[in-house]
A and B are shown apart, each in its own frame.
Chain A
């Protein structure tokens, strides 16, 4: 029964997440440098007694397996620990910046699919035409471009020279927006704040394009190749012979099957989007999780890095889970 298989698949992610947490935890503990020293480095002179007290408070005097157990216990409850540098719980810090990152990732994915799907279909249908060749050349270019460079070039072009789009941030300075979800575009729609909507969309364009370009290129190529493969199949010829309208032959029969390998690739690209996030956020000064992680690394705020990496890994695992489930929806031959 499919529902059981889906449940199985969901349950498998739990040990994976445990593994991820352990890997991340070990990495942090293997770092040279004492966490308490790092923390004290921010303050001034402290007595040995205070150091010991802090050690005890953060359970650093306990044996490693105990620390791991405490960490895991907390992580399951959403308590990811405490940032020594920013003096705030990590869960809070991450929660603040996560919506911005999600908005950017969704924007990039949206752009990628918006561009890749039509291009992939048209290129496959009109194989070797001018459209096809230009698209595939563009796709090649897309996979060869570093995202940070693309972002900078886009800024130069659209913000500096043409002045059409803003350089950084999520919304124009001074624009009021009542926050519901933390996703500015959604919030402005929900509160019918049209100025905010336009402003946040304008800010979202360039970062989304920079981040999504590479993904768009890859998805377009894969979609095209699987479409070409599918269009060669006998059942397509049969549909045509039966007098089916060409548009429906392509969009209904061929596309559905061609989407199967494509969906897998999209899942992998989500991972790339999560990673590239950090870079694009840095380029556009986007106040998201990625930029916070980069700053945390320079501030040697390892617990924060650890918590953020776990959140990223978790999101990636979830995304792949969704992809797997979607995969079975599209292809009834495959059971989980």
Chain B
């Protein structure tokens, strides 16, 4: 790494390659958008995800109805397009008389928050640990890898259910449960890539120049690895959201009356014969969000890293 006249302080040196990338990213962003436009499906996916995000953020301003308090005289109204439906409740009401559309919009907040946080923390923890394990090897690598293998002996949902059973319901516990198993994937990915990159010449060159180890990891190797991490993270987001919905469906996630898609579907089960919309519509909301994330993620992977291509 050539030390420019600007890269004098340690912070400078650590962030140099990242700042260069940032500058390149601005140019690349235009390229990225063009590529995205060539893949209309991924573009649509991205737009839908954005729409969900906006809806989640702007939730209180989008509807007049209260997501948690219902009008029992209006319970189990069908969606507006069916007989007996009202325009005020476009998607109908649930068994407590709450507007379903409102609850779906507010539910997006929880799902997206859980998805982003659990993936984010998994990525951060997995990447950090994986980078260290892959770089230093030795005892640290052995211990971490064995621990990761041990965690892998448990199927994801079972482990998450077990953790939730012991910790109890709640938002933070849910994130903890999902993250506890989630980091392993990223750990393995980064560890593998780190071990591969370590053998390359630019690392050798950096060492010869006398660059410190942390600096090499952060400034040199990580920027090359981060792309696959990012792609994997996007692909896992949908999975985390489904996991959250599943746990909430079982009653182990966020508790009512907070509107959560999973528990909405569960509550609607009792009225399946008479009020199909109570269960079906929140599920469709999940489906569309996860589908869009997956489609966008696939497009992203296609653009950024054709090596990971699944034809």
Contact = CB atoms under 8 A, between A and B. Distances in A.
B250 A149 contact: no
A198 interface: no
Given A152-B265, A153-B283, A146 B154 contact: no
B272 A297 contact: no
Contacts of A141: 287, 291
Contacts of A140: 291, 294-295, 298
Interface residues of B, number: 43
Interface string B139-175: 0000000100110011111110111111000000000
B87 interface: no
A156 B265 CA distance: 13
B291 A149 contact: no
B158 A313 contact: yes
A160 B272 contact: yes
Contacts of B295: 140
B158 A275 contact: yes
Interface centre among B149, B159, B262 (most CB of A within 10 A): B159
A271 to B, nearest CB: 4
Interface residues of A, number: 51
Contact of B272 (A24, A27, A152, A272): A152
A143 B246 CA distance: 14
Contacts of A283: 269
Contacts of B286: 146, 149
Given A16-B149, A294-B250, A149 B161 contact: no
Contacts of B291: 140-141, 144
B230 to A, nearest CB: 19
A297 B272 CA distance: 25
Contacts of A251: none
Given A27-B162, A153-B280, A224-B311, A146 B246 contact: yes
Interface in A39-70: none
Given A144-B294, A152-B269, A225-B310, A24 B162 contact: yes
A290 B311 CA distance: 36
B202 interface: no
Given A149-B265, A149-B286, A152-B279, A278 B153 contact: no
B114 interface: no
Nearest to A282: B250
A313 B151 CA distance: 10
Contacts of A149: 265, 279-280, 283, 286-287
Question: A-side binding surface: helix, strand, loop or mixed?
Answer: helix
B92 interface: no
A297 B165 contact: yes
Interface string A312-326: 110011000000000
Interface in A297-336: 297-298, 302, 305, 309, 312-313, 316-317
A302 B276 CA distance: 35
Contact of B155 (A24, A271, A294): A271
Contacts of B252: 294, 297
A279 B287 contact: no
Interface string B275-311: 0100110010011001100110010000000000011
A19 interface: yes
Interface string A80-95: 0000000000000000
Given A19-B153, A144-B291, A156 B165 contact: no
Interface string A279-302: 100110000000001100110001
A221 interface: yes
Contact of B150 (A16, A146, A309): A16
A148 interface: yes
B163 to A, nearest CB: 7
Interface string B236-258: 00100010011001111000000
A219 B189 CA distance: 21
Contacts of A112: none
B273 interface: yes
A192 to B, nearest CB: 36
Contacts of B161: 275, 278, 293-294, 297
Given A152-B272, A313-B155, 12 more contacts: A16-B150, A17-B153, A141-B291, A143-B294, A146-B245, A146-B246, A146-B286, A149-B265, A156-B280, A222-B310, A302-B165, A302-B166
Interface of A: 16-17, 19-20, 23-24, 27-28, 30-31, 127, 140-141, 143-149, 152-153, 155-156, 160, 221-222, 224-225, 228-229, 271-272, 274-276, 278-279, 282-283, 293-294, 297-298, 302, 305, 309, 312-313, 316-317
Interface of B: 146, 149-150, 153-159, 161-166, 238, 242, 245-246, 249-252, 262, 265-266, 269, 272-273, 276, 279-280, 283, 286-287, 290-291, 294-295, 298, 310-311
9 contacts: A23-B150, A27-B166, A141-B287, A146-B290, A148-B266, A222-B310, A229-B311, A274-B155, A312-B155
